Structure 1
Amino acid sequence: MTEQLLSICGLYAAVDGKEILKGVDLQINKGEVHVIMGPNGSGKSTLVNLIMGQPKYEMTAGSIAFEGEDISALKIHERARKGIFLSFQNPEEIPGITVENLIRTSQNAISGETVKIMAFKKNLQKAMDALKMDTAYASRHVNVGFSGGEKKRNEILQMMMLNPKLALLDETDSGLDVDAVRIVSAGVSRFKNAQNGVLIITHNTKILEQLQVDRVHVLMNGRIICSGDAGLVDKINSEGYSSLVSGGCKNAG
């Protein structure tokens, strides 16, 4: 029996008074990988930021439920404690806080317990090795002086260490070279299991090559106009989004 992780119904949202989302419905079960694609400005980032509870994004109608609980009124840190993680499209630099301290403090805040330092360091080393990250980065200030690719790997490192129930990846692959995309994809694959879920926003579908994608959704003008299985990615790559508008959502699975 599948267990529903995220349920979004009739979601409308605005930014600075401008309506962006115009009635989005989306359900993600445990063990599933969902992908959202669509042209720039269609509302993809707005959707994941709204799920995370970013205050800039105003939910004007609809509901967001996580594991059966309405979380629409919860703040960001409350949603994070429930197991939702957002990898930012443009990660911020945080001077004065090391990568290791950020992750360890976050683990403490989420679990409500003090993380055992030796076990933490061992797991951190393992995760950094998997992402081909120099362990020296653990003692560096978060994203300060990091390249674009290093910032994105650091986001995936945080995801692997915090082990959320739902990971929202907002164009984590943007700006990465081919080798870096493969490493990030492998990190997401390593994280993925039968008890969690992943929602990926992407334009570069190479990040999906090491993942078993369950559903693909196309978001345009604030609405999901088409959903299907992984074959929809190939259709978009070969025919573009215009084919979905002109020909409809056919053979989407």
Structure 2
Amino acid sequence: MTLEILTSDSLSPLRHGFFTRHGGASSGVFEGLNCGTGSSDQADIVAINRKRVAQAMGVDTGRLISMRQVHSASVHTLTGVPAAPPEADGLVTDLPGHALTVLTADCQPVLFADHDARVIGAAHAGWKGAMNGVLEATLDAMEALGAERGNTVAVIGPTISQRAYEVGWDFYDDFIAEDPDNQRFFSGGGAQKPHFDLPAYGLHRLRSAGIGHASWTRHCTYSDEARFYSYRRSVHRGEADYGRLIAAIRLSPV
């Protein structure tokens, strides 16, 4: 099976993509293109999957740059190939030939670009990272490299949709305590637990930060098992582990 790569007109002509699970070598609960080195999948199989992604991105595997994601607002500015994946949830660079990547399985993968300044970024934005400011921090780090947020575009890739994202009332209370207007990102009430709209919240944070354009691909990871991994779906099924999707973006040489 060939790779399936979702792209966005607003990020083109930059080489980029939100990879689905199609076209990978993994099997079992990881069936497909599992790129999670932190999963319990066979390391050599994950390496094969990552090599396929690197080839699709037109880079050596050593220039497929990953992070050790910790649901933070930390952003790493790439100045060369790091000795080890940085502990961060955002990557930015103005270096051509390096593919910035983010791994997800329900959280938001967000790819950024200022085409004129030739600065790119990638962020891992679950609810915690988004609330803590990882999206704004990524824009700040891009600006430090010469980008202008008013010229910057961001695309949120496949993530869990509101229909599938039931949360507890303590979760709801934390968001309302941050900003009472956050109530608009929840549905349900009374005896029914609230459902959180993660991509709408991500778009709100980006637009409030003054980004030039932000959009979501409108793909739900939970609802489309054939194409996407989902942490929440794996928990509901009592599975021992789950695969990780990869998203990537790179600058071409001038």
For the criterion TM > 0.5, the same-fold answer is no
TM-score, length of structure 1 as denominator length:
0.34
* TM-score, normalised with respect to structure 2: 0.34
**Which structure shows the bigger proportion of residues in strand conformation?**
1
